[in-house]
Amino acid sequence: MKIIISPAKRIQEESIYLEPQDHCLFPQQTQKIIDELKKLNPSELQNLLGCSFSIAQKAWNDTQKLDLSEKGVPALLAFDGIQYQKMAPSVMSDEQLLYLQNHLYILSALYGILRPLDGIQPYRLELENRLIIENQLLPAYWQETCASLLQGEEILDLTSRQYSKLIPKTKLIRCFFMEEEANQRREKGVYVKMARGAMVRFLAENKIEKIEEAKQFSEMGYVFDEIASDSAHYVFVRKSMKRE
């Protein structure tokens, strides 16, 4: 079983907890993206990223410093979004981190697929940014590489829809975390991100090896809904009064 998650926009530049174990899996493909990004000036990068000029200026500075020979920070500790804060990898045991190193993949527009302890450096790039590499947009550029790595694996999908398009749908089970209010169900972005992080921590704490065992997840008040779920979708629901 493999678990896939999305990256975060914010990236820590230092870690006091762990050194990276390795470099990224696909340096040649990543270097081609870096080379194209380095050709852009700050204004062009702003247009590509669709962000403020101050964010684009920092992204440009980070891009100019990107060097795959540098060790960087372990990806699991570098990404700093709601999902990763809820996961709290910095307080995981060595056993839990080893479990994630063997089971978890982080999808990335720059690196393709990252293992938790692969070293990364600050960057800003998303799959929806219309960067052309070898006459392809980023999703098409990475799809074959990602599909080859995950071929034959059962996959628990905790990604956003933007990143799930990189992964072949065969043997993929997507998780939904629903809020039930007034007999209606819907996902709420912040809570979904928190639940995804809590799910990763649950899997690591319990060393889950069979994908069906993810149904036991009950953190933050969520309960698996057997009726609403099927072989391709796991649905977890909580009542509106239950909150973290």
DSSP 109-150: TTTEEE-TTBEE------TTS--EETTEEHHHHHHHHHHHHT
Domain range for residue 142? 2-23+73-239
Q: Give the predicted TM-score (pTM) of the model.
A: 0.94
pLDDT at 182: 83
With respect to residue 200, please indicate whether it lies within any of the assigned structural domains.
Answer: yes
pLDDT at 213: 97
208 or 13: whose pLDDT is higher?
208
pLDDT at 242: 47
With respect to residue 35, please indicate whether it lies within any of the assigned structural domains.
Answer: no
With respect to residue 63, please indicate whether it lies within any of the assigned structural domains.
Answer: no
For strands 119-120 and 73-74, give the pairing: antiparallel
78/104 Cα distance (integer angstroms): 15
With respect to residue 187, please indicate whether it lies within any of the assigned structural domains.
Answer: yes
Query: For the residues 31-55, what does the mean pLDDT come to?
Result: 97
To which H or E segment does residue 90 belong?
Answer: none
CB 186 within 8 A of CB 178: yes
Query: For the residues 71-82, what does the mean pLDDT come to?
Result: 94
pLDDT at 165: 82
With respect to residue 60, please indicate whether it lies within any of the assigned structural domains.
Answer: no
pLDDT at 183: 83
With respect to residue 110, please indicate whether it lies within any of the assigned structural domains.
Answer: yes
With respect to residue 85, please indicate whether it lies within any of the assigned structural domains.
Answer: yes
- Residue-wise pLDDT tens digits, 102-128: 999 999 999 999 999 999 999 999 999
With respect to residue 52, please indicate whether it lies within any of the assigned structural domains.
Answer: no
CA torsion 14-16-22-24 (nearest 10°) is -30
Say how many domains are in the chain: 1
- Residue-wise pLDDT tens digits, 191-232: 999 999 999 999 999 999 999 999 999 999 999 999 999 999
The answer on pLDDT for 2 being more than 60 is yes
